[in-house]
Structure 1
Amino acid sequence: MKFRITAFLLFVFSITYSQILVINELDSDNPSTDTAEFVEIKSQTPNFSTDGFILVFFNGSASGNDSSYLVIDLTGYETDNNGLLVVGSPGVSPFPQLLIAENVIQNGADAVAIYQDVPSAFPEGTVANITNLVDVLIYDTSDPDDLGLIDIFNDDPNFVDIAQINEGSSGSVNSIQRNNDGTYFTALPTPRRLNDGTGISINPVTISVSQNQYNEGDTFDITFTSESNVTADLNFDITLSNFGFNTTDFTGSTSLTILNGQNTTSTTITLVDDADDEGDEVLEIRFSNLVEPVVPFNNNIEVRVVDNDFTIAPWGTPISPTTGIVQSTQPEGYYDSLDGLSDVALRQALQDIIADPNIVRAHTYADVIDILKEADQNPENSNQVWLVYSEEGRAKLDLQTTSSNTGKWNREHTFPRSRGGFNDIEEDDIADGISIFWETKADSLRHANSDAHALRAADAAENSTRGNQHYGEYVGPSGTLGSFRGDVARGVLYLEIRYNGLEIVNGFPSTTGQLGDLAILLDWHRNDPPDDYEMNRNNVIYNWQQNRNPFIDQPDLVEYIWGDNVGEVWNQQLSIDDAEISIISIYPNPTKGRLYIEGKDFINLEVYSVEGRLLKSFERVKNYVDLDMSSGLYLLKVIQEQRIITKTIIVE
């Protein structure tokens, strides 16, 4: 017969034998944003290799079924001079030896266990068991006991009377800490320090900078402060490199010394202002060679470096739209098979083009991030994406990667996943690039999850506000111009044709696969026609997916499928570009510098480099203009009233 001790927080967990490793401390909910959660492991002897051990987390909720949700391989790590190994998120201080993401440790009622095993022994969803078990802690944040987990682990003859330990109510500042006799208590967290206050004293060093963002050309100081004065000169190195940011991007010393008897030193870093359009970057300040008992208090401190060499596109944003500058990259004859068709036959022929399994490609949901960085690039700043609902630019670096969405952007499904009945799979977490893709067809509804024609860069908080509302229920943030409305209408109408199982209907339906409101979306399409921004994103996505949104290339098709011309025969309209160009004649091309203009009215001219940088502008030009530019290839934007034409010119 088993006996359970239930004394208040203390003396709830007795071990009947000496263990190699134990769970020494757990903080699953500190603070409530979960930026400083950790598990601390303790070995019998210091500097103990944890090769061959794993840390497994079990979900004790009703939906979790006491099954594994996270496995951490401890191979390659060892405990410190006090026999401690901290596995934690970046907000833990002193800094963890094994870093995990924020907000991954669940609050309970759950369990965390050490096994002497391989990670593959616990695929996600594996029910808790006692095979090769080394230690376990069942815990909660003022939740009822998980009797299932308790019964499972009490079946191990090496453990006696395992009980569930309460860390405290949600948001508690306490952690669960192990006494030397195997019982547990709660107190303020003590990561990398023995719970009883004994052991070798550590001396954490803090990295600090006055700002988290600087411009190229700026100079700033990095200060390092130890908790206690050092008793001998402390020499250490730091690195700043991070992805594209490297030693060519800054000057300043990265080898430092805190002198004997002191506790601080600093270095001055100057960011190189080069002429390269590298995009905004992030440098990462991190220690490279601290030796115990000196340890990092914090680490991997990120500082954004804003590149001032961004480019500006010759076309406008959705709130300052232009047309006629960006030309469709559709292959010749792409829509020819539609001519002479109507109604159901027209729909089917259109689907045959944009869902052709021999041509069209599907990419992962992670790939969509790279697609949107290009397709939704802000025309006014190549280092930003344009946010669909809030109508503003946002740094590409501000992609949401944690639970915090303030000031971040993420991927918005214009056709909400919960309404479409599609979702991601494990393979969707891998961004494997443009050259690796799935074959896809009209019945591949799951691929709608990552179809970039219907995904947009959006302010993360506004994305949450929209939720899964139908359009019409959701009309965008107050005070904005609604420049997104035609764009999202064409995006979801595309999905209906592209995938079997999706439909745009009138009203606000609750049936999976349906989205509303059709009448409102048709009005949005008519009142906000395609512009250069939308044509550019259509071209970018076509490069990845090998299909296009036809309602951007041929907007009148909407009327023949849903609108005023349903049942009528479709034939492509002739291009009006030639007619527009004939109104204004500009010559010669190539030119030695002077361009002559023939037309009825004054025009404005803007000259751009081929990279999209505005070089010169001329207002109210009538007969001719002298460019006075060096030899080369340029883009000439001709503006007359509401008509905009872009031409390529050569200066000899």
Structure 2
Amino acid sequence: MKCVLILFVLFSCTLVWPQDLIINELDPDSPSTDTAEFIELKSQTPNFSTDGYILVFFNGSSSGADSSYMVIDLNGYTTDNNGLLVIGGEGVSPFPQVLTSESVIQNGADAVGIYQASVNDFPQGTLATQNNLVDAMVYGTNDPDDTVLLGLMGETTQYNDDGTNANPRSIQRFVDGMGVESFSTATPTPRRENDGSGIAINPVEISVMETQYDEGASFDITFTSETNVTSDLNFTIGLNNFGFDASDFTGNLSLTILNGQNSTSTTINLVDDNLDEGDEVLQIRFVDLEEPVVPSNNLVEVRVVDNDFTMAAWGTPLNPTTGIVQSTQPVGYYDSLDGLADTALRQALQDIIADPTVVRAQTYADVIDILLEADQNPENSNQVWLLYTEQGRAKLDLQTGSSNAGKWNREHTYPRSRGGFFDIEEDEVADGIDVFWTTKADSLRHGNSDAHALRAADASENSSRGNQHYGEYVGPNGTLGSFRGDVARSVLYMEIRYNDLEVVNGFPTNVGQLGDLATLLDWHRNDPPDDFEMNRNNIVYEWQKNRNPFIDQPLLVEYIWGTNIGDAWDQSLSVDGNEFSEVLVYPNPTKGRLYVYGFNNKPNAEVFSIDGKLLKHFKSMDNYIDLNLPPGLYLVKFSSNNRSMIKKVIIK
């Protein structure tokens, strides 16, 4: 009897967990999309509060130095009826109870630990530790063992996720009937027991035919459960999301899947109002599902396209206009430059645009808000104008995840790696126009968030450009190059604005230098500032309290880098202040004939292709010229009395 009792005690002890919360399953690598990665925790008892716990992820790479890269606060969550809590992105199904961004779990060799601690105990870069550690897993994706990380976490085994595109796998913890614990890889089972036991769940999926509809349209939302329900399932959904609310739609939000069935649907009617609200996104979400019924997916977004967008009075860079948008520079803004040349002119210009008593630096996150206004498509207020691909893109298509298809993001015309720019944690917070840093000519960090050199760009094209020098990179095939002058002036601005930056000939490798100067000078001359560029200069000035002088005074470029080096600058030489300010060139676009009025003397005219090739030359022209050229974008240079101006002209 005594022996039996001892065996019973030993057996019972093997069934008692050494801690209340463990790592039950981990899928650190979903090879096909990286959107289905998750971690599942399990509590010893169901409906267990995870208050006081945090989840810490450690980077085992050489650059990561076995230190923390992400911390998730588990306060406010509880495990479910099976004691499970899933943490992951929206691509995980059934839908996670704790939602994270997609693709944030690194592949390995890495580690993750549950701690009874505060998130403040693990600032980014904290070395892995066993202090307050509840449970840990060191894992990899066919990586060599990280013995140092294993030691730091007090573990002896590094587990491998060997999933493939065709056969996704996760690392799962099993406990056999004798209470013996083991790990293996198997098909992922988020929110289900790894061995198939436990209370069966019934996930419900949200589906729509399209993910975008116009105002005034109607569409159906269908809800389908994995198995037929065994009693009427009543539930409520919500659609509100930021500006989208009950005034924007009609339709039933209280639904029932009848006993013995597995689906129901509702029709949503989108209200076509007369308000310019911009494109909006409704978000379909479950409000009150109760276990064992759980969301299969959730927060499904549908874009509602507003047909009440506005158009600006000026054109896009492809259909440029000039003279409509006036510079908002303060009176006398450039007066200190008059009579100066060479180094003195450069320094005086920097004193204006880098004055620490006036100029402001915003965060890198604030740049998004700046670009939404500064790069707004003149033809559609719901879009931004993309720099290199010369097209509009919905403002809502800002890249926020790993996928860049059809998205736009922030393009540094002066690449970060070339300029040596960097950011800090505070740069990730958009704190608005009234919160800013003091900045100086030596504040090279602020070059990372200087909106004069950041543009909305197609995310894929931004990636293709990388950190290539201009001249190496000339834009996508088939585009007309309407961005080239804009790029040149933004890059030249950066050289003057920040110390240790230089635009040089050729394709340098030194940090701080960018090429090719000769190419950029050609781009500046052949693509002069237009209303679109002047408008963005005005908007950036509202935020940063400095201007790009080469938009306001384009001839300054010649006095610093070009044909007038060594000559003293006189502000009266600017285009805005000379006889050309009243010149009228029309119609534009034209079918071939171009009328020109406003010159005191008969000007000469030269017609160039967008890449700078001279196509036609007219001497002492009268009030019109016949271009007789194929449809496209051309540059027409007018010269009179040793002065010249360039106009973009489109032939239809």
Into which bin does the TM-score normalised by the smaller protein fall? 0.7 to 0.9
Identify which range, 574-583 or 385-394, moves more after superposition.
Answer: 574-583
Partner SS, residue 522 of structure 2: helix
The answer on 1:326 being equivalent to 2:325 is yes
The separation in 2 between residues aligned to 1:147 and 1:445, in whole angstroms, is: 39
Counterpart code for 1:97: Q
Shift of 1:576: 5.3
8 A Cα contact 2:528 2:647, kept in partner:
no
Counterpart code for 2:283: E
The separation in 2 between residues aligned to 1:322 and 1:336, in whole angstroms, is: 27
8 A Cα contact 2:30 2:163, kept in partner:
no
- Counterpart for residue 46 of structure 2: 46
Shift of 1:362: 0.5
- Counterpart for residue 262 of structure 1: 261
The separation in 2 between residues aligned to 1:178 and 1:20, in whole angstroms, is: 15
Q: Which whole-Å deviations, capped at 9, do the CAs of 1:133-174 have from their partners, x for residues lacking one?
A: 1111111111111111222233xxxxxx63011110565500
The answer on 1:188 being equivalent to 2:187 is yes
- Counterpart for residue 354 of structure 1: 353
8 A Cα contact 2:29 2:163, kept in partner:
no
- Say if 1:578 and 1:355 are closer, same or farther in 2 by CA, change over 3 A: closer
The answer on 1:103 being equivalent to 2:98 is no
Partner SS, residue 40 of structure 2: strand
Partner SS, residue 179 of structure 1: strand
The separation in 1 between residues aligned to 2:527 and 2:576, in whole angstroms, is: 19
Structure 1 consecutive aligned stretches of length 4 or more whose deviation exceeds 3 Å: 14-17, 169-172, 574-584
Counterpart code for 1:332: V
1:167 aligned to 151, 161, 171, which one? 161
The separation in 1 between residues aligned to 2:406 and 2:253, in whole angstroms, is: 32
Q: Which whole-Å deviations, capped at 9, do the CAs of 1:118-139 have from their partners, x for residues lacking one?
A: 1111111111111111111111
8 A Cα contact 2:237 2:254, kept in partner:
yes
- Counterpart for residue 515 of structure 1: 514
Shift of 1:51: 0.5
Q: How many residues align?
A: 571
- Counterpart for residue 122 of structure 2: 122
The separation in 2 between residues aligned to 1:228 and 1:56, in whole angstroms, is: 36
- Say if 1:464 and 1:399 are closer, same or farther in 2 by CA, change over 3 A: same
- Counterpart for residue 22 of structure 1: 22
- Counterpart for residue 232 of structure 1: 231
- Say if 1:555 and 1:578 are closer, same or farther in 2 by CA, change over 3 A: closer
Shift of 1:643: 8.8
Shift of 1:582: 7.1
- Over the aligned positions, Cα root-mean-square deviation in angstroms equals 1.9
The answer on 1:425 being equivalent to 2:424 is yes
Counterpart code for 1:138: V
The answer on 1:75 being equivalent to 2:69 is no
The separation in 2 between residues aligned to 1:643 and 1:472, in whole angstroms, is: 23
- Say if 1:582 and 1:81 are closer, same or farther in 2 by CA, change over 3 A: closer
The separation in 2 between residues aligned to 1:520 and 1:261, in whole angstroms, is: 71
8 A Cα contact 2:17 2:44, kept in partner:
no
Q: Which whole-Å deviations, capped at 9, do the CAs of 1:331-381 have from their partners, x for residues lacking one?
A: 111111111111111111111111111111000000001101111111111
Counterpart code for 1:258: I
- Say if 1:239 and 1:313 are closer, same or farther in 2 by CA, change over 3 A: same
Shift of 1:19: 2.0
Identity of aligned residues (%): 72
Partner SS, residue 183 of structure 1: strand
Partner SS, residue 151 of structure 2: helix
Partner SS, residue 248 of structure 1: helix
- Say if 1:563 and 1:236 are closer, same or farther in 2 by CA, change over 3 A: same
- Counterpart for residue 439 of structure 1: 438
The separation in 2 between residues aligned to 1:20 and 1:582, in whole angstroms, is: 80
The separation in 2 between residues aligned to 1:98 and 1:310, in whole angstroms, is: 37
The separation in 2 between residues aligned to 1:188 and 1:242, in whole angstroms, is: 35
Shift of 1:182: 2.2
The separation in 1 between residues aligned to 2:259 and 2:174, in whole angstroms, is: 36
Shift of 1:510: 0.5
8 A Cα contact 2:421 2:444, kept in partner:
yes
The separation in 2 between residues aligned to 1:152 and 1:355, in whole angstroms, is: 48
Give the unaligned 5+ runs of structure 1. Answer: 1-13, 155-160, 585-598, 601-641, 645-652
Q: Which whole-Å deviations, capped at 9, do the CAs of 1:457-487 have from their partners, x for residues lacking one?
A: 1111101111101000000011110111110
Q: Give the TM-score taking structure 1 as reference length.
A: 0.85
- Counterpart for residue 550 of structure 1: 549
The answer on 1:505 being equivalent to 2:504 is yes
Partner SS, residue 541 of structure 1: helix
8 A Cα contact 1:240 1:284, kept in partner:
yes
Choose between structure 1 and 2 for higher RCO, CA contacts under 8 A separated by at least 6 residues: 1
- Say if 1:335 and 1:15 are closer, same or farther in 2 by CA, change over 3 A: farther
The separation in 2 between residues aligned to 1:332 and 1:560, in whole angstroms, is: 22
Q: Give the TM-score taking structure 2 as reference length.
A: 0.85
8 A Cα contact 1:142 1:169, kept in partner:
no
- Say if 1:290 and 1:582 are closer, same or farther in 2 by CA, change over 3 A: closer
The separation in 2 between residues aligned to 1:169 and 1:453, in whole angstroms, is: 45
The separation in 1 between residues aligned to 2:28 and 2:481, in whole angstroms, is: 43
The answer on 1:90 being equivalent to 2:83 is no
The separation in 2 between residues aligned to 1:105 and 1:582, in whole angstroms, is: 60
- Counterpart for residue 593 of structure 2: none
8 A Cα contact 1:142 1:170, kept in partner:
no
The separation in 1 between residues aligned to 2:53 and 2:518, in whole angstroms, is: 60
The separation in 1 between residues aligned to 2:62 and 2:93, in whole angstroms, is: 33
Shift of 1:262: 1.4
- Say if 1:506 and 1:643 are closer, same or farther in 2 by CA, change over 3 A: closer
The separation in 2 between residues aligned to 1:62 and 1:376, in whole angstroms, is: 40
- Counterpart for residue 141 of structure 1: 141
